[in-house]
Amino acid sequence: MSGDAGKPTPQALVGLDVGTTGVKALALSPDGAVLAVASRGYPLSTPKAGWAEQDPEAWWLAAVSALAEVSAGREVAGIGLSGQMHGLVVLDSADRVIRPAILWNDQRTAAECREIEERIGLERLIGLTGNRALTGFTAPKLLWLRRHEPESYARIARVMLPKDYVRLRLTGEWAIDASDASGTLLLDVERRAWSDEVLEALELPAGWLPPVLESPERAGARNDQSQAAPVAVAAGAGDQPAAAIGVGVDRPGPVSVVLGTSGVVLAALPAYAHDRAARVHAFCHAVPGTWQAMGVMLSAAGSLEWFRERLAADASFEALVAEAERWEPGAEGLHFLPYLAGERTPHADPDARGAFVGLELRHDRGALVRAILEGVAFGLRDSLDLLRELGAEATVGRVSGGGARSRLWLRIVASVLDLRLETTESEQGSAFGAALLGGVAGGVYADVREAVTRCVRVRETIEPDPQWVARYAELHVRHQALYPALHAVRVAP
């Protein structure tokens, strides 16, 4: 071991998450204790309405700085990477970035999505990739480049995703993991390999795409003068699969429930399965040879953030939730549809809109907030029901995200899902899961299961309220009737 005057330095596992607003680096002890955390931000460019781009150099500079901070004075046994999924990074034959990366939240590719589904056929596309063509995915961005920036397209030699660009700079290794590759729309998800059929149909060269590895596999090493030997770097995972590993969703049974700005319910599957209408995403999981299904609602805690910002700027979130607690389940007939930015699961409708339904004179601000908390919980229930249709087992929900700080919201979600919820000691998200993958690559753990067993610990348990469960089951049926009714009004001439 290295150290001043021959003293050994603490062994650490490092996770690096390349997010949309910044990089987070995290150092863990082998038993899961957080030793250090460092974050570095960078800007988001929106050159036109609906566009979202970033300079990959900004990711690299932020990553180097954050890694140096959490690694200082520690013997690093392994590094794992996670990152925003779907983003397109294109390099020329000298590994130079051709243009700014086009991100997951960029909306410019609607025409290309239609083209992909027409070329391949929607049913066949979903069968191969587990997903339909969505504007955030990577393949439509390549078609957009071909149509709108032919000079840039002609220079492409390599295609990669955000975290994998950082790995290339960190280790010189060109690679991708199966979970992140699942979000490109170019992977045969069941086979865990690039789809020759999709590539042929879209006229994209297979040589542009990196080797596909399993998430804990070693994908190069970092040579760092502060370390006694090169540090193994894991292939890593997309942000949601990595976050799921970080809360212990490494096998069927526990499911990840994320109450962030968006809402996610993610389950490991016993075998590959996809929803025929692609209402949930089917991806490779970050555990070798396994798969996951994931429902995504676009406005979860974001719905409450919207309400406070627009209608209750004078109140804290805690005060709003306290007002909501005074209302019984159902808020006397008040419902909220959380489709403020369209929806992905279960409706896959970018034009869906939110609504309060059932307002009366008695309803006050607390009733509106109660309806928001419940409406989001019903959206999560929609996702969970679809995952169960695919064969997902749900024995406990591991809950995370900003909304998980509200005890009332957790009671509501547990009762709506009729599922015990657990919070975990670490709230470090994707970076925590990435660090565990780095530990496997570095030989600290034999596999992901051992890493989870040693490092993921439950902090608190929230049981469903027996009196609320039956009431919420009735209200969920009413909730499900609202979208088709309001959709009919929206599309009426």
Round to whole Å and give the CA distance between 371 and 248: 31
* CB distance 249 to 189 below 8 Å: no
204 three-class SS:
coil
Which are the contacts of 151, defined by CB distance < 8 A and separation ≥ 6? none
Task: Match 């460019």 to its residue by tokens.
Answer: 45
Find the length of the chain. 493
* Residue 343, H or E segment: none
> Exposure of 289 by Cβ count < 10 A (0-12 exposed, 13-18 middle, 19+ buried)?
exposed
Report strand pairing: 187-188 vs 218-222: unpaired
* Residue 459, H or E segment: strand 458-462
Catalytic residue flag (residue 92): no
Round to whole Å and give the CA distance between 137 and 375: 27
Round to whole Å and give the CA distance between 107 and 103: 9
* Residue 174, H or E segment: none
Q: At what angle do helices 317-324 and 365-389 cross, to 10 degrees?
A: 90
Which are the contacts of 78, defined by CB distance < 8 A and separation ≥ 6? 13, 14, 231, 232, 233, 234, 438, 439, 440, 441, 442, 443, 444
* CB distance 205 to 199 below 8 Å: yes
Sign (positive or negative) of CA dihedral 176, 179, 183, 189: positive
Identified catalytic residue from 17, 239, 250, 382: 239
Which are the contacts of 240, defined by CB distance < 8 A and separation ≥ 6? 85, 256, 258, 264, 266, 294, 430
Through-space distance between the first and last CA atoms of the chain, rounded to whole angstroms = 73
Active site residues: 239
